[in-house]
Structure 1
Amino acid sequence: MAGGLAALLDDIAALAKLAAASVDDVGAAAGRASAKAAGVVIDDTAVTPRYVQGVTAQRELPIIAKIARGSLRNKLLFILPAALLLSQFVPWLLTPILMVGGTYLAFEGAEKLWEAVSGHHAAKPEVTAAEQGPEAEGRMVSSAIRTDFILSAEIMVIALNEVADQPIVSRAIILVIVALGITALVYGVVALIVKMDDIGLRLAQTRNGATAAFGRGLVAAMPKVLTVLSTVGVAAMLWVGGHILLVGVHELGWDGLYDVVHHLEDAVHGVAGIGGVLAWLVETVASAIIGLVVGAVVVLVMHQVHKRRGRAAH
């Protein structure tokens, strides 16, 4: 009896160790998957603050909360089941889907760069969202959730591609962790960004000395922070989009471009002390250039299409 109890306890201990190892593996895989999607996360964080421009300070956080709930719904109810089904039954589709998303990111980055260089920005509405009322707020939230769907899909597919060799249950758990973690991170940071100037203003009005000066500094710094964030977002879109395309063509069997970049990485990797950093910079710059070229081609095509539609309408 004692021997049987000891054997049972040994089995329970072994199962506990196995479960702990599985949890560790899932956690590590979720971390790797989230890191791979970092560029798109930066883009998502850079894009979202625009949707609360023109609303009252009291409505900023509720609107961000609505968008965050919509983002989570996108990831868990729509994207996750579709991604799991694809990875289980037609895994060869993941690379083309990723490349379509990479092309979209490259297009978005190139278009924003073109707008910055040419000065052709989208016209701002003459009436702010705050003056248009609840219906305008609802339309704005819906538009933000639609945009988030594209970015969320890219995040989830990138994450899935990183853990495609895991069992389907592990894949599902990892994607849920990624969805929850990235949504909390993105919209937590967005909430902090959009309220930072309010925090600074409150400090400047209610405190004295160094604290008030810090508050005034926050208010003055926020436009610069948003500009920097937008610039980083554009760079991230080009880099991530180009990297997805570079790896995608390699996985589809077209190795020429990938081999050129790989040889350039090898050429600098041996530099003492900074070889690893230089190799990363080479790959990053090469990916950004690829993203810029592909994105510029798509921008040119889209502009031509819009011109022809405009002529046809007249």
Structure 2
Amino acid sequence: MSGLIALLDDVAALTRIAATSIDDVAGMAAKAGTKAAGVIIDDAAVTPKYVTGLDPKRELPIIWKIARASFFSKLVILLPVAMLLNAFAPVLLIPLLMLGGLYLCFEGAEKIYHVLVPHGDAHVEADMDVGDPAHLEEKRVKGAIKTDFILSAEIMTISLNGIVDEFPDAGLWLQGATLAAVAIAITIVVYGTVALIVKMDDVGAWFAMNGKTGFGRGLGRGLVHGMPKLLTVLSIVGTAAMLWVGGSILVHGLHDGAFLGWEQPYGFIKDMSHTVAGDSGFGNWAVTAFADGVLGLAVGLLLIPIVTRVIAPLFGGGETAH
């Protein structure tokens, strides 16, 4: 009897440890996921374009194809690579993170440049030529998976760096479990949101035609007319977030003592935020985010001619991920 009681005590203790570990993973994943906010918003804002112009009945199956590939990329390819780097070559994490930051700055700046200096892109115009719907769907899915892989690599690198920074004493398995939780949660949130966005106009159209009340029909018409504006807002927010996150990654990467240990521009931005906002937590964050975004925009604008005229031709094309 005493042996049974001891066994039950051991089981209870293991259960408490497991529950604590799950709570730790959830808490760490929530904090780490916020570090990748800019990329997540951009991912959700970009993906709906890949189903534009296709049969509405194919929208959800296409989104599922992309989401399934995203799960595979994050969990089967990127997660093991990230954990191996963290275990055997952690010194590479900051340089890789900064490469991702440069990419974010370039993408955000290029979007702004396209608005300020409108110009056509041959690959975009070719993509608008529908042709065979099945071929177009296959082409769109491949393009979306390629874009998702790049964004997923950034999300995983940023999240892992956040986990290591916030929880340096966490064991390797706990860091890996947290990164896996981040990957799963982000993919569900991004593609769940994308599915809602692309089907919202259909929902609105149904309510507009079949609503039993004037309010219901009006709500339906509002959804139909409001979705293009929502996509525009998402694109603006995503661009701003990319520049902010990209600039912040570069500032902190340059300041990291294990990498370069440069005092500037980190010190200048920190002093400026305290001068402008004083002891206000939100004020300091807002000033810092704005300064990081301006820096990110400046770096991105400098990268545009380098990428489009030097790097892209070396790889045989002028396309960017978006």
Q: Which whole-Å CA distance do the structure 1 matches of 2:223 and 2:129 have between them?
A: 25
The answer for the alignment partner of 1:312 in structure 2 is none
How much has 1:126 moved relative to structure 2? 6.5
Q: Tell me which of 258, 263, 266 is aligned to 2:266.
A: 258
Pair 217,130 (structure 1): closer, same or farther in 2 beyond 3 Å: same
Is 2:221 the partner of 1:216? yes
Residue-by-residue CA offset, 1:272-301 (whole Å, 9 max, x unaligned):
xxx111101111001101110110110022
**CA 1:78–1:127 in structure 2 vs 1: closer, same or farther (change >3 Å)?**
closer
User: How far apart, in 1, do the equivalents of 2:273 and 2:71 lie?
Assistant: 38
Quote the Cα distance in structure 1 between the aligned partners of 2:313 and 2:78: 34
Match of 1:89 in 2: 88
The runs of at least 4 consecutive aligned structure 1 residues that moved more than 6 Å come to 306-309
Percent same amino acid among aligned pairs?
49
> Structure 2 CA distance, aligned partners of 1:281 and 1:114?
24
- Measured in 1, the distance between the counterparts of 2:81 and 2:99 equals 16
Which residue matches 1:135? 135
Using the TM superposition, name which of 8-17 and 144-153 deviates more.
8-17
The 3-state SS of whatever aligns with 2:99 is helix
Q: Decide which moves more: 92-101 or 159-168.
A: 159-168
Cα 1:10–1:268 shift into 2, 3 Å: farther
Checking the alignment, whether the CA contact within 8 Å between 1:75 and 1:153 is kept in structure 2 is: yes
Is this contact kept in 2: 1:55–1:129, CA < 8 A?
A: no
**Kindly tell me: are residues 80 and 15 of structure 1, through their superposed partners in 2, closer, same or farther at Cα, counting changes over 3 Å?**
same
Distance in 2 separating the partners of 1:168 and 1:254: 29
CA 1:169–1:225 in 2, change beyond 3 Å: closer, same or farther? same
* Superimposed CA distance per residue, residues 20-41 of structure 1 (whole angstroms, 9 cap, x where no aligned partner): 2222111111111111111110
Alignment of 1:1-314 (within 5 A): 2=2, 7-122=6-121, 124-125=124-125, 128=128, 131-164=131-164, 165=168, 166-207=170-211, 208-251=213-256, 252=259, 253-271=261-279, 275-305=280-310
The size of the alignment, in residue pairs, is 305
Q: 1:74 to 1:218 in 2, by over 3 A?
A: same
RMSD (Å), alpha carbons: 2.1
CA distance in 2, matches of 1:270, 1:295: 30
Question: Scaled by the length of structure 2, what TM-score is found?
Answer: 0.89
Q: Secondary structure at the match of 1:179?
A: helix
Deviations 1:149-200 (A, max 9, x none): 1100110111111222321211221121111111110001011111111111
Contact kept, 8 Å, 1:246 with 1:258, in 2: the verdict is yes
The alpha-carbon distance between structure 1 residues 72 and 291, as it changes in their structure 2 partners (threshold 3 A), is same
Query: What runs of 5+ residues in structure 1 fail to find an aligned partner?
Result: 310-314
Deviation of 1:257 (Å): 0.8
Secondary structure, in 3 states, of the residue corresponding to 1:88?
Answer: helix
Whether contact under 8 Å (2:277, 2:287) holds in the other structure is no
Residues 26-59 of structure 1: per-residue CA shift (max 9 Å, x gap):
1111111111111110010111011111111111
